Chain A
Amino acid sequence: GESVGLHLPTLSVQEGDNSIINCAYSNSASDYFIWYKQESGKGPQFIIDIRSNMDKRQGQRVTVLLNKTVKHLSLQIAATQPGDSAVYFCAEINQAGTALIFGKGTTLSVSS
């Protein structure tokens, strides 16, 4: 079946530290992955995506790593700021290629 999960439901870091949020997926045929950030009471916001023909992709302060061998996805946030506090979801495209399957989310808390 299709499932996307995260290793830890919560992550607490100090401002300025680097954060790493992990995600495991089960569908080895998935070829597209996205990380979303969701602040309280708002809809998810796109952060970064990666296709299966890549191992790494960088954005502004964020890096996504994809390890297809172990079906593992991670989001790295450099110099974490209080504004980064939110729930982070990984998502993969479903087998039909029509919809995203979301993991349960990791709550990132950044303290000053």
Chain B
Amino acid sequence: SQTIHQWPATLVQPVGSPLSLECTVEGTSNPNLYWYRQAAGRGLQLLFYSVGIGQISSEVPQNLSASRPQDRQFILSSKKLLLSDSGFYLCAWSTRGEQFFGPGTRLTVL
């Protein structure tokens, strides 16, 4: 069966510090991978998606970036965090349309 992992589960970082969130998927090959951000009490905003290794599409301009160094690994990064980067970050994968979500990372930027 397929599983998706995200870590860390929670993170508190100072403004201006770097960020690296990791997502890995098991049990499937060549999935589409996604990073979403969810602000408190809000819906999900698509940040990046990837259809293959090294292929990244950005949906919104921001100070975040994503990379896919391996087929089932998706990384969300920032060189300098902003207060507005606080939120709940969700990774998801899909192969036929339906998306399966990871447990999320709660990021607080102080």
Interface residues of A (CB under 8 A from B): 32, 34, 36, 41-46, 49, 89, 93, 98-105
Task: Provide the bound-state CA to CA distance between A101 and B59, in Å.
Answer: 11
Tally of contacts, chain A with chain B, CB under 8 A: 49
Question: Given A42-B103, A43-B104, A44-B90: A101 and B46 within 8 A (CB)?
Answer: yes
Task: Provide the bound-state CA to CA distance between A34 and B106, in Å.
Answer: 24
**B43 and A104 contact, CB distance less than 8 A:** yes
Number of interface residues of B (CB under 8 A): 23
Question: Given A99-B34, A99-B49: A44 and B98 within 8 A (CB)?
Answer: no
Task: Provide the bound-state CA to CA distance between A36 and B100, in Å.
Answer: 10
* Interface residue B102 (Cβ < 8 Å from any Cβ of A): yes
Task: Provide the bound-state CA to CA distance between A43 and B59, in Å.
Answer: 20
Question: Given A32-B97, A49-B97, A98-B49: A43 and B43 within 8 A (CB)?
Answer: no
